[in-house]
Amino acid sequence: MTTKDAALPPGATIGILGNGQLGRMLSLAAARLGYRTHVYGPDKDSPAEQVATASTVAAYEDQATLAAFAKAVDVVTFEFENVPASSVKFLMEHAIVRPNARALEVAQDRAKEKTFFAAIGAATPPWRPVDSLEDLVRALADIPPPAVLKTARFGYDGKGQVKIKSADEAAAAWKAMGTPNGIAPHAVLEGFVDFSCEISVIAARGADGTTVAFEPTENVHKNHILATSIVPAAIKPEVARRAAEIAQKAVTALDLVGLLAVEMFVTKDNHVLCNEMAPRPHNSGHWTMDGGGCDQFEMLVRAAAGLPLPQPARIADVTMLNLIGDDVNHLNAFHADPAARIHLYGKAEARPGRKMGHVNLVKPRSR
């Protein structure tokens, strides 16, 4: 165990809740700084387990195993935001956990997230909490369609979302949300934003309270899954400044030590509207691995370990392409391209929609 103030020495062990590709890339970054990693998650032969120093395969709710994990590591972080907040709170009684459970709790619930954005003075699309069909009908009177009904918890990559084009679709949209665990869904209705582009910013906060932010990336989604992230984003400098300011304000307000990715819409009149956030490394930050300077994974390792955080120093223009499903079987052109940096996640089966890896196409910095 370590104290809150001292930086972890090389050889110390960083515990990671979650053992997917983000845990894999986090483990690789930790190894570069001389740290060991111990990953914890429910899946066997996971992407992270293949490269971590140690692995525990167990349920997130298994408190006896969580306690043993806490004992075996010097600090705990996570790479997956649907870890039960109660498990993170339990771990906080046994170990230093960075980021804290509050960041996770806010990010796990779209209603809490939007309330939080308002509290730090950041705009969101218009929204209403919806917990019944009656709520939805009332919300549609306030927020005229087109609108999107989203499950407030455990939705990702567009899952648990229904677009509503006219108020008479309310009943069908509510029905389409289903009744997970036999109870009515907790949801939000959001006005549909006719955005000029989608961007995201990854901010980091160190144990000493220093905050830094990577440049915004411009993100293109296909079938609700991130397809491409581009830096520099084609946005006005004042939009980039505002986006970075929001993300840095958010990490400080959450008293978070670690990373926070904030996804935003840029409106046609250059306003920034916050969509959602995640207190972990983010797919839209993978460009940082080949963009120069400290990347998002090293930044999280540094924050968790209590090391100083360097200012991000981009030296390249990068287009990050996700390899989804079968894309991973068509790499010949990338293998032949000296500007292409290929990152594969070690997943055996290329199921449709599954993130199998990504490619960073790197060019010298243009601006």
Q: Does residue 224 interact with ligand AMP by CB under 6 A?
A: yes
Angle 47-80-5 from CA coordinates, rounded to 5°: 105
Residue 177 in tokens: 């949300």
Q: Does residue 189 interact with ligand AMP by CB under 6 A?
A: no
Site string for ligand AMP, 288-327 (x = CB under 6 A): ----------------------------------------
Which residue number, 52 or 278, has a Cβ lying nearer to ligand AMP? 278
Say if residues 83 and 15 touch (Cβ distance below 8 Å).
no
Say if residues 352 and 312 touch (Cβ distance below 8 Å).
no
Q: Does residue 16 interact with ligand AMP by CB under 6 A?
A: no
Q: Does residue 221 interact with ligand AMP by CB under 6 A?
A: yes
Distance CA 202, CA 181 (A): 34
Q: Does residue 154 interact with ligand AMP by CB under 6 A?
A: no
Which residue number, 274 or 294, has a Cβ lying nearer to ligand AMP? 274
Which residue number, 125 or 285, has a Cβ lying nearer to ligand AMP? 125
Which residue number, 186 or 221, has a Cβ lying nearer to ligand AMP? 221
Q: Does residue 73 interact with ligand AMP by CB under 6 A?
A: no
Q: Which of these segments, 60-68, 189-197, 247-255, 311-319, binds ligand AMP (CB under 6 A)?
A: 189-197
**Dihedral Cα 287, 288, 289, 293, nearest 10 deg:** 150
Using CB under 6 A, count the residues that bind ligand AMP: 13
Say if residues 93 and 27 touch (Cβ distance below 8 Å).
no
Phi, psi of 43 (to 5 degrees): -95, 140
Say if residues 16 and 48 touch (Cβ distance below 8 Å).
yes
Q: Which of these segments, 33-41, 87-95, 185-193, 322-330, binds ligand AMP (CB under 6 A)?
A: 185-193
Residue 5 in tokens: 């103030």
Cβ 221 to ligand AMP shortest distance, Å:
4
Q: Does residue 74 interact with ligand AMP by CB under 6 A?
A: no
Q: Does residue 198 interact with ligand AMP by CB under 6 A?
A: yes
Report the b/e string of 6-24 with b at 16+ CB within 10 A. eebeeebbbbbbbbbbbbb
Which of 158, 178, 180, 308 forms a contact with ligand AMP (CB under 6 A)? Answer: 158
Q: Does residue 218 interact with ligand AMP by CB under 6 A?
A: no
Residue closest to ligand AMP when measured from CB atoms: 193
Q: Provide DSSP, 155-210.
A: --TTTTEEEESSGGGHHHHHHHT--GGGSPPPEEEEEPP--SEEEEEEEEE-TTS-
Query: What part of residues 262-281 is at the interface with ligand AMP (CB under 6 A)?
Result: 263, 275-276
Cα distances from 129 to residues 123, 134, 173, 178, 189, in angstroms, run 16, 11, 15, 17, 6
First to last CA, the chain: 45
Cα distances from 124 to residues 22, 113, 121, 184, 233, in angstroms, run 27, 10, 10, 25, 20
Which residue number, 32 or 165, has a Cβ lying nearer to ligand AMP? 165
Q: Does residue 112 interact with ligand AMP by CB under 6 A?
A: no
Cβ 270 to ligand AMP shortest distance, Å:
17
Which residues contribute to the site for ligand AMP (CB under 6 A)?
A: 125, 148, 155, 158, 190, 192-193, 198, 221, 224, 263, 275-276
